[in-house]
């Protein structure tokens, strides 16, 4: 059974800038440590990715899988799920929820639920999930705020 974990971070940019970075899957290897490759394999009519193939290598865990994406009409929520079991995962569900703040920043809440194919003690799994989420949010924040400064 997969447990769900949630973390939030405040990013110094408007929601549309945050969404632009999240949805630019091809550039994930530039700013996400574990992602070696991200390729959009299917798109919706509006050009947003509906399926993305990922190759990751996080040292202790390497995997190759496809995620299916869905988007709220106003892009305030981006959610995904694993299309088919992979070498390391039985299932994965996740989401980003974006809320614009009065000061122009965005609160991003990341929720992730992964059911691994390999056994891992609950204590270690929770620690790994926290580390993955913490790293993902910090890398997203760094990327968005860096691209904003460059514009």
Closest by CA position to 34, among listed 60, 8, 66:
60
The whole domain housing 87 covers 3-145
Asked whether residue 82 is assigned to any structural domain, the reply reads yes
Predicted TM-score (pTM) of the model is 0.88
Q: Which residue has the higher pLDDT, 128 or 57?
A: 57
Asked whether residue 87 is assigned to any structural domain, the reply reads yes
CA distances from residue 151 to 16, 108, 109, 145 in whole angstroms, order as listed:
14, 21, 25, 10
Asked whether residue 104 is assigned to any structural domain, the reply reads yes
Q: How many residues does the chain have?
A: 151
| Mean per-residue pLDDT of the chain | 89
The DSSP element (H or E) to which 138 belongs, if any, is helix 122-150
DSSP state at residue 25: G
Asked whether residue 151 is assigned to any structural domain, the reply reads no
Asked whether residue 59 is assigned to any structural domain, the reply reads yes
Range with the poorest average pLDDT among 56-65, 99-108, 111-120: 111-120
Cα 67 from Cα 148, distance rounded (Å): 27
Q: What average pLDDT does this structure show over 1-9?
A: 80
Asked whether residue 37 is assigned to any structural domain, the reply reads yes
DSSP state at residue 59: S
**DSSP per-residue codes, 67-89:** EEEEE-TTSSEEEEEESS--SSE
Burial class of 112 by CB neighbour count within 10 A (0 to 12, 13 to 18, 19+): buried
pLDDT at 147 over 90: no
Asked whether residue 12 is assigned to any structural domain, the reply reads yes
The DSSP element (H or E) to which 15 belongs, if any, is helix 15-23
How many domains, in total, are found in the chain?
Answer: 1
Asked whether residue 150 is assigned to any structural domain, the reply reads no
Range with the poorest average pLDDT among 2-6, 87-91, 119-123: 119-123
What pLDDT is attached to residue 16? 96
78: CATH: 3.30.530.20
């Amino acid at each position: 059974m997969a447990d769900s974990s949630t973390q939030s971070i405040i990013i110094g940019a408007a929601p549309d800038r945050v969404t632009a970075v999240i949805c630019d899957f091809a550039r994930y290897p530039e700013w996400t440590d574990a992602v070696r490759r991200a390729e959009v394999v299917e798109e919706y009519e509006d050009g947003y990715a509906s399926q993305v193939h990922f190759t990751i290598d996080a040292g202790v865990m390497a995997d190759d899988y496809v995620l299916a994406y869905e988007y709220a009409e106003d892009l305030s929520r981006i959610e995904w799920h694993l299309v088919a079991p992979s070498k390391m995962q039985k299932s994965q569900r996740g989401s980003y929820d974006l809320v614009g703040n009065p000061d122009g920043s965005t609160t991003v809440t990341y929720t992730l639920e992964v059911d691994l194919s390999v056994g891992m003690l609950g204590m270690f799994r929770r620690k790994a999930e926290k580390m993955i989420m913490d790293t993902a949010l910090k890398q997203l924040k760094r990327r968005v705020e860096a691209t904003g400064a460059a514009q």
